[in-house]
C-alpha cells in the first residue's frame, strides 16, 4: 500500500492508527451535489462532515448561472400559464440529452421534479412567475422561467413545448445564491464543514469497504473515519489537463466553465478502487455566440455552410459547431436583425465585418467565392415563404436577410473578453446507481462509496441542457445523502 | 475477495492453493499483439504460455485486411521508387492520427519501422514491389504497397507524400496469412498455446503484484501462475455492448470489425486494479463507400452538403460523415465516373438512383429543392479550372460532373451485403508505457502487468489509418514481450 496522501491510491485502514476525525457520513466537495448530500444525510440523523478544498463552500456551482432544469407542473410554470407533465419533460430531456440518456435516472428526475422544486423553495429561494421569451444563455432580467430549446425543432414535435429553465430571483449569476442558501441549510442541519481540506485518497478496510479518506490541509495529511459512507462530490475534471487529454481532448486549450477546482480527484480516487465510468468524453460546450443574434440570422462554419436551426438550446448549436464543423464559426446577421437586439442585451458583441454584398463579406471571411452567396441565397428563397427545409428554424425567426450584412466572430467574446470562442466542462464520471452507490467494473457496488454531481455520470447521454447539472447534482446528491446516512447500519 | 472466475475483480494469490499451470510470461489473447509479445518473450528465453478464448490463434487480426503501416524506407518502398524517412512518416501519422497522437510511442514506431518490416519478412511474409495507385479500402491486386491518404490534402503539405500501406502477397484479406506465420514462429520459439481458454481475472499477491490469472476453459476455472509477468492482449471492446454504450455509443447498432471476441475483458481486468485508460471514445469507422467512386464524384450528407476531399484515407471521410454529419450519406457520381471503375473493382456496388437532372435526383433523395444543384454547381464551377477551394481534392480527380447523375447508398453495402453502412472497432484502452507496462491512475506502473494491441491505447490520438493496428499491436507487443521476459527478475 502506498503512503497516506501520496495520490489517489487507496490507503489501508489498518495503516492508520487513530483517525483525526470521525463521522457517520463524510462528503468530499461542497458544491451543489455535496451540499445536497450533506443536508439530506444530516436531516436523516447522521453525523456529517463536508470537506472542501477551497476556503468556503460553493465550488463551480456558485460560479454558475443558477439555472435549474425543473418541470412537470411547478408553481412557476403554472404562474406563467404553462401546463406541463413529467412525461413531456422526460420526452424532451430524453431527446435533448441523448442519445444514451440514463433512462432510470431520468425517469426519477422527471417524476420527482415538482417535489425537487419545493426543496429549493424551502431553502428560501424565490422565483418570479414571469417568462423570459427570447433564446439566451442567461437572463439578465429577473424572470423566473426561460426556454431551454423546448420550442425548437425537432423537440417541439417530440414533446409539448413548455419552458423549464427555472432561475432564482437575482440579478447576475444565480449560482452563488443557491449555494448560499444551501450552505446555510447544511449548517442549520448540524453538518460540519472543513474548508481548505482536499480529500486525496480513500481509506479501505480488509473487506474492501470504504471507511474514510485521507485529506490534505495546509500541507498536512488529515485522516477521516466514516462509519457509514463516503460521498464523492468533487466535481468534474475540466481543470485536470491530463485527464482532459486522455478523455475529452476537444476542450484542451479552451475556456473552462468552473471555479478552477474541477480536478477530477473524486473520479480518480474511485478509479483506483476499480470503479466504472461512463461518458468520459462528453462535455458541455458553450460557443460565445449570442443566441439573440444567431436566431435572427444564421450560424455558418469556415466553409460558409449553415448546419443547425439556430433557435435550439444554444449549447446544442455550440456542440454542433465545435465538435462537428470546421472553425472558425461566424454569425451572419443583417442590419435589421442586429438592431432588433436592444443595446443592453448585446453583451458588448459587435460585428467584425460589415459589407454591402455577400461576395465582399465572404472574401473578408476568407471563404471561397460564392460560398456565402449560395448559403444565404438558399436561406432567403425559403425564408420568403416562412420555410426552412434545411434546418427547420421556427418561422418566428424566418425572413430574408437584406444588405448590409454583418459577420460576428465568437472569438471576440462577451463584454470585451476575447478567447477561443469556446468554453466547457465535463459531463462524464463514475457509474452510480440511482441512490448514488458507485459501481465497479463488475457491475457490483463498492461498499461504503457514493458519488453525485459531475463526479458521477448523471442523467446525460451525449447531450446537455442548462440547469441539468445543478438539477441532477442536487437531485441525486439528495438521494445519495439519504442512502449514505443508512449505509452499513 | 470474490470467488475465482466470478468477474474481472482480482483474485488474491493466497486464495489459490496450487496453480494448474506455471510459466514465466502469461499472454492473454493470441491476436497480432499477443503473438508478437509471446514470440519475443520466448526468444528472450522466457517460458511462455499464450491463452486464447477461441479454438486457435488469430483473433480479429486474422480477420483483418492485413495492411501494415510501415515506412521510413522499406525495401518495398524502394522497389516502387519511393524515398521515405522516419521524419516524414512521423509527420504524416502525427497529423492523420491526431490530434493527440502519442508522441513518444509514435517516434519509436517510426524510427523502428524499417527494422519492424524486416521482422515481418523474417516471419516468412512476402511483399511484392509494386504499387496500387488508386484509393481503396483493400487492394484486390497482389501489389505490395498502397496509398493510405498520404497524397491527399492537407497531408501532402505536411509531409512528403509517400505510400506506406504494406500488404503481404496474397489474394483476399491478408490478416490470416500474417497470423499463420506468426503462430508458426511462436510455436517454433517454444511457447505453448492454450486454446478455448479465456482469461477472466488477474491474480494479485499481497504486495499488489500481478502474479497470474484465472481463466475459464469449458466451464471450469484454470489457474495460471506467471513468475514474471502477465501480458493482456485480448483486443478492444467493440463486442461488449455495455462498454460500448458507456464509452463509444456511436458504434451501437452498427457492424463490428472483429472476430466477435473483442469483449473488453483485458481492459476490465486491469481497470479492476485501478488502471488508467485513454481515448476510450475513439473508434475506427468504415463507411461502406467505395473510394474509387467517391474520388470521382462527391460524398454528401442528408442535406446535400459536401464536407471533405474525397481522396483522403477513406476512414477519414467515414469519420467525417458518421461522427459529424446528418445521415443518410450519398455518393454522387456521373456516368463517366461510374464507368471509369472497372466492373471487378466495383465490389457489387450499384446506384440506387440515376436521374437526368439534379432537381430530380435531390427530390429522389428527399433533399430540399436546390440542395444538390447548389453543391454540384459550386463544385463544377471550380472543377472546370481544376480547383476545389472548399475541400481541396487533388486536381487528378477534378472535372465537372455531367448528366446523368447517380446516387449510391452506403447502406446497400459491398458484394450485396446490406447493413447500416457503418462498421468499426475501438481504439481506446489501457494507458501503457512504451514497454507495455500498464499505468494506474496515479501514473505508476502496476507491477507484473503489461498490455499491447487494442487492449491498450496505442499510437493513436483522435484519428486512424489502416495498418496502424496490426502495426502498433505487433511493434509494441514485441516490446512488451521483451520487457515482460525480464520483469521481476
Q: Same domain, yes or no, for B27 and B58?
A: yes
Full 3-state SS string of A20-72 = CEEEEEEEECCCHHHHHHHHHHHHCCCCEEEECCCCCCCHHHHCCCCCEECCC
pLDDT value of residue B253:
96
From B73's Cα to the closest Cα of chain A, the distance in A is 32
Q: Do B378 and A374 touch (CB under 8 A)?
A: yes
Residue of A nearest to B270 (CA): A274
Q: Same domain, yes or no, for B137 and B120?
A: yes
Which of A100, A271, A303 is nearest residue B390 as measured by Cβ atoms?
Answer: A303
A94: helix, coil or strand? helix
Q: Same domain, yes or no, for B272 and B217?
A: yes
B300 contact residues in A (CB cutoff 8 A)? none
Q: Do B370 and A381 touch (CB under 8 A)?
A: yes
Which of B272, B274, B279 is nearest residue A9 as measured by Cβ atoms?
Answer: B274
When pLDDT is cut at 50, 70 and 90, the band that residue B3 belongs to is very low
From B391's Cα to the closest Cα of chain A, the distance in A is 9
Residue B367, domain member (yes or no): yes
pLDDT in tens, chain A (489 residues): 333 334 688 999 999 999 999 999 999 999 999 999 999 999 999 999 999 999 999 999 999 999 999 999 999 999 999 999 999 999 999 999 999 999 999 999 999 999 999 999 999 999 999 999 988 998 888 999 999 999 999 999 999 999 999 999 987 778 999 999 999 999 999 999 999 999 999 999 999 999 999 999 999 999 999 999 999 999 999 999 999 999 999 999 999 999 999 999 999 999 999 999 999 999 999 999 999 999 999 999 999 999 999 999 999 999 999 999 999 999 999 999 999 999 989 999 999 999 999 999 999 999 999 999 999 999 999 999 999 999 999 999 999 999 999 999 999 999 988 999 999 999 999 999 999 999 999 999 999 999 999 999 999 999 999 999 999 999 999 999 999 999 985
Provide the ipTM: 0.92
If phi > 0 it is left, if psi is from -120 to 50 it is alpha, else beta; for residue B152 that is beta
Q: Same domain, yes or no, for B474 and B374?
A: no
B373: pLDDT strictly greater than 60: yes
Residue of B nearest to A301 (CA): B307
Q: Do B130 and B139 meet the contact criterion of CB atoms below 8 Å apart?
A: no
Which of A272, A279, A442 is nearest residue B441 as measured by Cβ atoms?
Answer: A272
Residue of B nearest to A389 (CA): B368
Q: Same domain, yes or no, for B219 and B117?
A: no
Give CA–CA dist B472/B468, Å, rounded: 6
The x, y and z cell numbers of residue A370, run together, are: 460564392
Rounded to an integer, the average pLDDT of B441-457 is 97
Q: Same domain, yes or no, for B406 and B466?
A: no
Give CA–CA dist B395/B412, Å, rounded: 29
Residue B3, domain member (yes or no): no
From A7's Cα to the closest Cα of chain B, the distance in A is 6
- Dihedral Cα B395, B397, B401, B402, nearest 10 deg: 110
From A67's Cα to the closest Cα of chain B, the distance in A is 27
Domain that holds residue A111: 68-166
- For residue A389, give the nearest of A315, A277, A318, A306 by alpha carbon: A306
A246 contact residues in B (CB cutoff 8 A)? 276-279, 431
Contacts A–B by Cβ distance under 8 A: 115
From B90's Cα to the closest Cα of chain A, the distance in A is 20
Sign of the Cα torsion A233, A238, A242, A248 reads positive
Give CA–CA dist B52/B27, Å, rounded: 9
pLDDT value of residue B416:
86
Task: Compute and round to an integer the Cα radius of gyration of chain A.
Answer: 24
- Would strands B422-426 and B255-256 be described as parallel, antiparallel, or unpaired? parallel
From B428's Cα to the closest Cα of chain A, the distance in A is 9
B99 contact residues in A (CB cutoff 8 A)? 249
Q: Same domain, yes or no, for B92 and B28?
A: no
A247 contact residues in B (CB cutoff 8 A)? 277-281
- Would strands A210-217 and A220-232 be described as parallel, antiparallel, or unpaired? antiparallel
Strand partners, A194: A51
Task: For the sheet with B255-256, list strands across it.
Answer: B255-256, B422-426, B283-287
CA distances (Å), origin A113, targets A84, A105, A166: 11, 12, 12
From A151's Cα to the closest Cα of chain B, the distance in A is 21
- For residue A100, give the nearest of B395, B8, B35, B249 by alpha carbon: B249
pLDDT value of residue B5:
37
Domain boundary among B396, B418, B440: B418
Which of B1, B6, B249 is nearest residue A462 as measured by Cβ atoms?
Answer: B249
B28: pLDDT strictly greater than 60: yes
Q: Do A368 and B389 touch (CB under 8 A)?
A: yes
Q: Specify burial of residue B141 (Cβ count, 10 A radius: 0-12, 13-18, 19+).
A: middle
Which of B271, B378, B441 is nearest residue A441 as measured by Cβ atoms?
Answer: B271
- For residue A232, give the nearest of A259, A196, A271, A205 by alpha carbon: A271
Q: Do B303 and A390 touch (CB under 8 A)?
A: yes
Q: Same domain, yes or no, for A297 and A378?
A: yes
What is the greatest pairwise CA distance in chain A? 78
**Phi/psi at A99 (5° precision):** -70, 155
Run of H or E residues at A294: helix A291-296
From B111's Cα to the closest Cα of chain A, the distance in A is 24
The x, y and z cell numbers of residue B176, run together, are: 490470416
Q: For an interface test with A, which of B200, B246, B430 has the most A Cβ atoms less than 10 Å from its Cβ?
A: B246
**pTM of this structure:** 0.95
From B393's Cα to the closest Cα of chain A, the distance in A is 14
Query: Which 8-state DSSP code applies to residue A115?
Result: H
Q: For an interface test with A, which of B369, B390, B431 has the most A Cβ atoms less than 10 Å from its Cβ?
A: B390
Residue A378, domain member (yes or no): yes
Q: In CATH, what number is assigned to the domain containing residue B248?
A: 3.50.50.60
A323 contact residues in B (CB cutoff 8 A)? 324
Residue of B nearest to A273 (CA): B274
Q: Do A117 and A75 meet the contact criterion of CB atoms below 8 Å apart?
A: yes
Q: Specify burial of residue A107 (Cβ count, 10 A radius: 0-12, 13-18, 19+).
A: middle
Residue A1, domain member (yes or no): no
B393 contact residues in A (CB cutoff 8 A)? none
From B148's Cα to the closest Cα of chain A, the distance in A is 23
If phi > 0 it is left, if psi is from -120 to 50 it is alpha, else beta; for residue A29 that is left
Residue of A nearest to B268 (CA): A441
Domain boundary among A403, A418, A433: A418
A100 contact residues in B (CB cutoff 8 A)? 245, 249
Give CA–CA dist A218/A83, Å, rounded: 52
Residue A73, domain member (yes or no): yes
B308: helix, coil or strand? coil
B177: helix, coil or strand? helix
Q: Do B246 and A303 touch (CB under 8 A)?
A: no
Contacts of B453 (CB under 8 A, 6+ apart): B29, B31, B32, B33, B34, B233, B235, B469, B472, B473, B476, B477
Strand partners, A132: A146
pLDDT tens profile A334-381: 999 999 999 989 999 999 999 999 999 999 999 999 999 999 999 999
CA distances (Å), origin A161, targets A397, B207, B296: 17, 59, 45
Domain boundary among A133, A166, A199: A166
Contacts of B214 (CB under 8 A, 6+ apart): B4, B5, B11, B16, B199, B200, B201, B202, B203, B221, B222, B223, B224
- For residue B28, give the nearest of B450, B351, B410 by alpha carbon: B450
Taking CA B427 as the corner, what is the angle to CA B423 and CA B431, rounded to the nearest 5 degrees? 165
Q: Same domain, yes or no, for B304 and B411?
A: yes
Which of B6, B431, B462 is nearest residue A249 as measured by Cβ atoms?
Answer: B462
Residue of B nearest to A324 (CA): B324
Give CA–CA dist B328/B411, Å, rounded: 9
Rounded to an integer, the average pLDDT of B267-273 is 97
Residue B4, domain member (yes or no): no
A274 contact residues in B (CB cutoff 8 A)? 9, 271-274
* Residues written for chain A: 489
Between A470 and B141, the higher pLDDT residue? A470
Contacts of A58 (CB under 8 A, 6+ apart): A30, A31, A52, A176, A179, A183, A259
A245 contact residues in B (CB cutoff 8 A)? 100
Q: For an interface test with B, which of A97, A242, A247, A379 has the most B Cβ atoms less than 10 Å from its Cβ?
A: A247
A268 contact residues in B (CB cutoff 8 A)? 441-442
A324 contact residues in B (CB cutoff 8 A)? 323-325
Q: Do B277 and A246 touch (CB under 8 A)?
A: yes
Q: Do A232 and A35 meet the contact criterion of CB atoms below 8 Å apart?
A: no
Q: Same domain, yes or no, for B239 and B300?
A: no
Residue A6, domain member (yes or no): no
Q: Same domain, yes or no, for A81 and A196?
A: no
**Phi/psi at B190 (5° precision):** 100, 5
pLDDT tens profile B81-91: 999 999 999 99
Which of A246, A441, A444 is nearest residue B278 as measured by Cβ atoms?
Answer: A246
Q: In CATH, what number is assigned to the domain containing residue B389?
A: 3.90.700.10
From B281's Cα to the closest Cα of chain A, the distance in A is 6
Which of A6, A272, A277 is nearest residue B246 as measured by Cβ atoms?
Answer: A277
- For residue A119, give the nearest of A452, A474, A436 by alpha carbon: A474
Give the count of domains, chain B.
3
Residue B6, domain member (yes or no): no
- For residue B51, give the nearest of B181, B235, B314, B324 by alpha carbon: B235
Q: Same domain, yes or no, for B21 and B119?
A: no
Amino acid at each position: 500500500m502506498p503512503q497516506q496522501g501520496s495520490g489517489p491510491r487507496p490507503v489501508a485502514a489498518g495503516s492508520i492508527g487513530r483517525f483525526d476525525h470521525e463521522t457517520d457520513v463524510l462528503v468530499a466537495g461542497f458544491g451543489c451535489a455535496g451540499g445536497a448530500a450533506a443536508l439530506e444525510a444530516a436531516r436523516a440523523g447522521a453525523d456529517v462532515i463536508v470537506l472542501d478544498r477551497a476556503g468556503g463552500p460553493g465550488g463551480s456551482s456558485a460560479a454558475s448561472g443558477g439555472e435549474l432544469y425543473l418541470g412537470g407542473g411547478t408553481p412557476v410554470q403554472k404562474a406563467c400559464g404553462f401546463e406541463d407533465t413529467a412525461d413531456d419533460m422526460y420526452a424532451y430531456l430524453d431527446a435533448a440529452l441523448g442519445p444514451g440518456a440514463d433512462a432510470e435516472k431520468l425517469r426519477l428526475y422527471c417524476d420527482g421534479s415538482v417535489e425537487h422544486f419545493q426543496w429549493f423553495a424551502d431553502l428560501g429561494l424565490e422565483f418570479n412567475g414571469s417568462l423570459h421569451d427570447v433564446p439566451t444563455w442567461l437572463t439578465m432580467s429577473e424572470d423566473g422561467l426561460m426556454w431551454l430549446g423546448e420550442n425548437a425543432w425537432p423537440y417541439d414535435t417530440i414533446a409539448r413545448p413548455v419552458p423549464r429553465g427555472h432561475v432564482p430571483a437575482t440579478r447576475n449569476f444565480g449560482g452563488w445564491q443557491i449555494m448560499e442558501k444551501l450552505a446555510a441549510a447544511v449548517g442549520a442541519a448540524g453538518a460540519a464543514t472543513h474548508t481548505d481540506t482536499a480529500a486525496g485518497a480513500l481509506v479501505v478496510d480488509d473487506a474492501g469497504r470504504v471507511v474514510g479518506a485521507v485529506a490534505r490541509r495546509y500541507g498536512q495529511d488529515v485522516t477521516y473515519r466514516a462509519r457509514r459512507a463516503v460521498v464523492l462530490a468533487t466535481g468534474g475534471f475540466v481543470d485536470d489537463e491530463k485527464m482532459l487529454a486522455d478523455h475529452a481532448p476537444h476542450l484542451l486549450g479552451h475556456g473552462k466553465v468552473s471555479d478552477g477546482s474541477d480536478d477530477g480527484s473524486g473520479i480518480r480516487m474511485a478509479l483506483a478502487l476499480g470503479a466504472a465510468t461512463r461518458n468520459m468524453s462528453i462535455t458541455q460546450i458553450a460557443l460565445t455566440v449570442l443566441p439573440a443574434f444567431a436566431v435572427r440570422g444564421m450560424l455558418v462554419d469556415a466553409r460558409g455552410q449553415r448546419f443547425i436551426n439556430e433557435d435550439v438550446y444554444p449549447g446544442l448549436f455550440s456542440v454542433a459547431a465545435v465538435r462537428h464543423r470546421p472553425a472558425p464559426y461566424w454569425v451572419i446577421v443583417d442590419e435589421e436583425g442586429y438592431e432588433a437586439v436592444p443595446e443592453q442585451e448585446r453583451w458588448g458583441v459587435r460585428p467584425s465585418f460589415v459589407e454591402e454584398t455577400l461576395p465582399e463579406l465572404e472574401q473578408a471571411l476568407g471563404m471561397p467565392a460564392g460560398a456565402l452567396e449560395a448559403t444565404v441565397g438558399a436561406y432567403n428563397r425559403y425564408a420568403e415563404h416562412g420555410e426552412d427545409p434545411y434546418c427547420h428554424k421556427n418561422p418566428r425567426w424566418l425572413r430574408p436577410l437584406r444588405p448590409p450584412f454583418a459577420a460576428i466572430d465568437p472569438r471576440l467574446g462577451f463584454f470585451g473578453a476575447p478567447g477561443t470562442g469556446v468554453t466547457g466542462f465535463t459531463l462524464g464520471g463514475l457509474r452510480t446507481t440511482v441512490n448514488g452507490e458507485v459501481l465497479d467494473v463488475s457491475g457490483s457496488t463498492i461498499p461504503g462509496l457514493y458519488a453525485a454531481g459531475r463526479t458521477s455520470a448523471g442523467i446525460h447521454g451525449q447531450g446537455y441542457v442548462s440547469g441539468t447539472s445543478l438539477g441532477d447534482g442536487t437531485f441525486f446528491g439528495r438521494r445519495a445523502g439519504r442512502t449514505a446516512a443508512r449505509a452499513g447500519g
